[in-house]
Chain A
Amino acid sequence: MLVGIDLGTTNSLIGFFGDNGPELIPNALGEYLTPSVLSVDEKGTLLVGRAARDRLVTHPHGTVAAFKRWMGTARETRIGNKNYRPEEFSALVLRSLLDDAEAHLGEKITEAIISVPAYFGDAQRKATRAAGELAGIRVERLINEPTAAALAYGLEQRMNGSTFIVLDLGGGTFDVSILEIFDGVMQVHASAGDNNLGGEDFLHLLIKTCCTDLGIDQNKIKKEELAQIESKCERAKKQLSTQQEASLEVMVNGEVKQWTIHQDRFESLAEPLIQRIRHPIERAMRDAKLLPNQLDEVILVGGSSRLSLMSKLVARMLGRLPLRHVDPDRAIAMGACVVAGMKARNVALEEIVMTDVCPYTLGVEISRQDHGKQISHGHFSPIIERNSTVPVSRSSTYSPMHEGQVKLELNVYQGESPLVANNVKLGRLEVALSPRLSKEDNSVDVRFTYDVNGVLQVEATVLATKKSYELILQENKGVLTDAEIRARLESLAEIKIHPRQDQENIAAIAKAERIYAECLGQDRDEIQHYLVQFLGEIDRQDRHTIAKHREQFNKVLADFEARLGW
């Protein structure tokens, strides 16, 4: 069974394409959204999901979140007593999702479709595939998140012959895609985005403002207290989407502090972030050569798109209000399930064909000689222009700068600036030339092939000798080599994760601990009382009774939260 996975910065989901359409699979706690958070407990066992997220507040040192942002880099983080790479974190989350799916479907899962932001570069896509491998599955295909979201809407609405724009503001990334559906074809016209813009940024903004207002130095307080502030600010952020004002209470150094923020102030503080959101939208529209009135729909997906300033911005820029009737948290996962169904050639989906585009311009570094015989270096010569439909293969011919050169250095870059200094270097290829030949005879034909999964192949052929060279983009330190993946696979296998049966209990306890940390004074005593009671019941009772007690306990916690207005 091919499953579809949304591996998000904040939450991850898994599902499949069933007889009635895309279906999401609940996790051990009965929820569809599994927070992409990992935590390690005192015994060294790993927790994934909501329990881990609650532990962010109570045990910030052993918990890690939002690691999707580090994909494609070589960053190593230490939790417990081990160093992990971002791929490993993602792999652990994937493993947890897959376990849930296997329990639900009753069969082993060996392959999956995983969603990635459309703007993810080569290194990040490779890291996602590596994560899949480390989780023990084959990544059948990487699907761009906006495309997935569009599919989710497309299916529900059966829009035929319409052009629409998908704005995906997730926890850590922002993606814009412009698509058109006609006659069973889903065509992507343009793609743009910002890999470092998401709900997290708005959260950090709130945290910074809160700390500045209350006179707290983020570096000086305890990590637990900071985690508490973060969690409360997160809540406040969500409240601001529906209310005009949000307030919170924090305890720092034994002192209780109150803080209120008004929606208008939040929006004016978020100005720089709003500008960053504008830019990819404009670029995508420009590349698709569309005017706002030529769009049929505007779709917002991604949890952070619930922020009221998003719909305001959309209205200002595109002159209309966006569609949001598919749950923005689930839309992408649903779309991934649709793709899974298509891949498995489920009969109901025979007729849809998808095309996609590559979001970056890809090219090489060249030097130019102008009329005055001045040579200037560091120019970018595009070979594949951005938003070309993939798969795409293009070539250009380059000749050496001087006579008698023995080699030609091809530096492969990705980006939009005419100068390579502002672009991202993907790799380097050296081609040997024969110094005896003239400059023209020594020209090299460089072919870039970009496939549906966003992997770039570079092939350089010396025209005179017909000798060709291929580029292996391994110089990028952010990418794991096959050998490294195998090594890490072994080390991952040793990690213990809590078995599913225990997860519900652990989640309940973690939640209680979090609430305890967040509330103050008398409420704390109350929580502690309930927690101790529950812990005692776990020790004493059998599984069924525990489940009943757990339900009760959860209800108590929920009431508690409601009472405190959370």
Chain B
Amino acid sequence: MNCFRTLAIKQTASIQEIKRAYAGKLKQHRPDEDPVAFQEINAAYQSAMESAKQRDAWLQRKADAEQQKQLAIAAGNYSPDDDVEYYDEDEYYFYDEDAAETDSDEAPLPEINDKALTPAAEVEPDSVIAGPDDESQATVPSDSDDNAVASDDYIFRLDDFIEELDNISRQEDDRLLKKWLDDHPDLYSLYLKHQITEPLITAFAQTETPIRPPALEIVIAFFGLDSVSTNHYLIDHQVEMARQKSRLFWHAAAIAYHRRNRKRNLHERWIDQSLRGDANRFQSLYLLFIPGLPSKVMEIANESKDEYGNLNPEFISPPHYQFWSEANDKTRIVSQRFYMALTRSAVLTLIVTLLLGSPTTSAGILGLFAGVFGSWLSIALLRIGNYRLDLYVIRKQTVDKGDILLAIICPIIVITSLFFDSEVISYPAWLLTFLCFSLATTGANKESRPDSYFAFFGGAAFFISMLSFTFVPEILSSSKFILAANLAIGLIVLHDEIYTRIHDCTFEETREKSTWLFWTGITLIILSFGSLAIHFP
């Protein structure tokens, strides 16, 4: 080992010898004179001491095991099966009397896994037994000898201590708990406190009825296990386990309490029913359709899960949970396609109508729309491979509110246009206007190229029509007006995209600088609608 080499001693050196070597080296390289060398020597000293301590502990255990064996043989109880592995031969195989004498240069020796040798745990974990009755609070081993710590006059009983701790923590007064711990006369003795730290935290890590998280934190702080420097690796692990157990148990309990006592609104009650499997078809469809509700179902379902991801069978039935996870599965969303098909085909229809000039009747337009929509949707469904027309609702985050509006308003306007026909208010025109306005409010999805272009064209058309209308009012019902209007909308919607392309800068920088384009478009719209209003008697 390098540390031994630095100190110029053998690996078999005793602790005394290590200290002496360190002292000698230190006098040659004092900390204030030669800090760099000192740090090396000090680090070597610390490693050498660690390794020597472990070796000594191992040797001690080996000696103890030997002694036990001899005793057993003398008493006639010995059998080879009883050989308890108090030590692991492999860990210290380098400690071969002959091999250790040779220079360490020859054989590269493995690093000692210092986690493998632990200070002996006073309580074996598998002896912790949970009480048979539901009321049991103490869960440490009932074997009195193992957990009793002798302290001169009397025996400190760990399980009694834990029971009392439990009782006090249930009173939900953390200051009282802290005071009780601080005042506990037995725990003044550092020796005793140290003896019970590990068994205590192990008990907490394995109990089925943990104490509340705040109470646990107080106990952890009291035993000094809460600072940022590491304690022993194993103890850190137990502390984490204890915290987790407590959190899970009390989180679930809090949820259960919440559920029993909190007033739940209509949606939440329906969601609960649906998760349990008691909801009727209408409720399911409602939950499915309304944007945001399916993801809420998942939220509520996930609340009842524990940290390992297990469902609480009391509240959720697995098949229904499965249904709702699939409903929220983005990759399988059909309705996303549905809404997109609906809105985009509307735009496409109207653009085609305007460019080609036909069909001009509402029925014609409706027919064209139906055709485009139908084909769009079929292609989308074919691509997904899902022929079922179960309508899964999109997650709240991916659906644009504008799309929803359109999906509702579009059919209404198209249908009413069948019954009303007026020169002044040309429904296709208004439809298109409305369409583009809603595209503007959605803020077209910048990542999707086709979306942007659609928006752009619509916006462009609107813009131009607005412009021309403002200055040439006769063309109020002209399709050019509509085109202009759409152009304006496009400007509004894509202002930052345009700016970014022109200036080749980052998106964040554009946001601030391109707003003038945005406001130009807004102004134009206001002007246009203003002049529209004027021209209406």
Contacts and interface: CB of A to CB of B under 8 A. Distances in A.
Interface of A: 141, 161, 182-185, 271, 275, 278, 281-283, 285-287, 291-293, 313, 316-319, 351, 353-356, 361, 363, 380, 382, 385-386, 389-393, 416-418, 451-452
B167 interface: no
B229 A416 contact: yes
A144 to B, nearest CB: 13
Say whether chain B's binding surface is mostly helix, strand, loop, or mixed.
helix
A292 B31 contact: no
B188 A182 contact: no
A355 B39 CA distance: 11
A282 B224 contact: yes
A390 B31 contact: yes
Interface in B32-81: 32, 35, 38-39, 42, 46
A352 to B, nearest CB: 9
Contact of A317 (B20, B46, B188, B227): B188
A416 B27 contact: no
A343 to B, nearest CB: 9
Contacts of A183: 19-20, 23-24
A287 to B, nearest CB: 8
Given A382-B229, A417-B228, A355 B42 contact: yes
A351 B31 contact: no
A185 B22 contact: yes
Contacts of B183: 271
A185 B28 CA distance: 12
A138 B216 CA distance: 51
B97 to A, nearest CB: 27
B193 interface: yes
Contacts of A281: 190
Contact of A318 (B23, B38, B190, B224): B190
A185 B231 CA distance: 27
19 contacts: A183-B24, A184-B23, A185-B26, A271-B183, A282-B224, A283-B224, A292-B189, A292-B190, A292-B191, A313-B188, A319-B189, A353-B26, A353-B30, A354-B31, A361-B227, A363-B228, A391-B39, A418-B227, A452-B31
B182 interface: yes
Interface in B182-200: 182-183, 188-191, 193-194
Contact of A293 (B26, B31, B191, B231): B191
B190 A418 contact: no
Contact of B39 (A271, A293, A386, A392): A392
A471 B216 CA distance: 39
Nearest to A285: B190
B240 to A, nearest CB: 12
Contacts of B23: 182-185, 353
A282 B182 contact: no
A322 to B, nearest CB: 14
Interface string B10-32: 00000000011011101100111
A119 to B, nearest CB: 15
A311 B30 CA distance: 36
Contacts of A287: 229
B19 A182 contact: yes
A389 B182 contact: no
User: What 10 A-B pairs have minimum CB-CB distances, sorted nearest first?
Assistant: A183-B23, A316-B188, A391-B35, A416-B227, A185-B23, A353-B26, A418-B228, A385-B229, A182-B19, A389-B42
B228 A316 contact: no
B31 A355 contact: yes
A103 to B, nearest CB: 31
Which residue, A183, A278, A316, A354, has most C-beta atoms of chain B within 10 A? A183
A199 to B, nearest CB: 22
B346 to A, nearest CB: 37
Nearest to B225: A286
Contacts of A353: 23, 26-27, 30-31
B227 A417 contact: yes
Contact of B228 (A182, A184, A380): A380
B19 to A, nearest CB: 5
Size band of the B side of the interface?
A: 20 to 34
Nearest to B34: A391
A276 to B, nearest CB: 10
A313 B22 CA distance: 35
Contacts of A184: 23, 27
B184 to A, nearest CB: 11
A291 B35 contact: no
Which residue, A281, A316, A417, A451, has most C-beta atoms of chain B within 10 A? A316
Nearest to A281: B190
A161 B15 CA distance: 11
A287 B20 CA distance: 23
Contacts of A386: 229
Contacts of B35: 391, 393, 451-452
Given A182-B23, A185-B23, A382-B229, A278 B194 contact: no
B228 to A, nearest CB: 5
A286 B27 contact: no
Nearest to B42: A389
Interface string B153-191: 000000000000000000000000000001100001111
A416 B194 CA distance: 20
Interface string B209-236: 0000000000000001011110100000
A278 B229 contact: no
Nearest to A387: B229
A318 B39 CA distance: 32
Given A185-B22, A316-B189, A452-B32, A286 B224 contact: yes
Nearest to B32: A452
B189 A317 contact: yes
Contacts of B42: 355, 389
Contacts of A275: 182
B288 to A, nearest CB: 27
Interface string B411-435: 0000000000000000000000000
B189 A391 contact: no
A412 B245 CA distance: 34
A382 B190 contact: no
A396 to B, nearest CB: 14
A212 B46 CA distance: 54
A185 B41 CA distance: 13
B50 to A, nearest CB: 10
A449 to B, nearest CB: 9
Given A282-B193, A391-B38, A393-B39, 4 more contacts: A183-B19, A183-B20, A185-B26, A292-B189
B388 to A, nearest CB: 32
B188 A278 contact: yes
Nearest to A352: B27
Nearest to A389: B42
A141 to B, nearest CB: 8
B229 A361 contact: yes
B378 to A, nearest CB: 37
Contacts of A317: 188-190
B531 to A, nearest CB: 46
A271 B20 CA distance: 44
A286 B22 CA distance: 24
Contacts of A282: 190, 193, 224
Contacts of A363: 228
Contacts of B31: 353-356, 390-391, 452
Nearest to B46: A389
A76 B60 CA distance: 61
Contacts of B188: 278, 313, 316-317
A317 B151 CA distance: 13
A124 B435 CA distance: 70
A283 B20 CA distance: 28
A480 B434 CA distance: 69
A428 to B, nearest CB: 20
Contacts of A393: 35, 39
A332 B38 CA distance: 26
A285 B190 CA distance: 9
A43 B23 CA distance: 57
A361 B27 contact: no
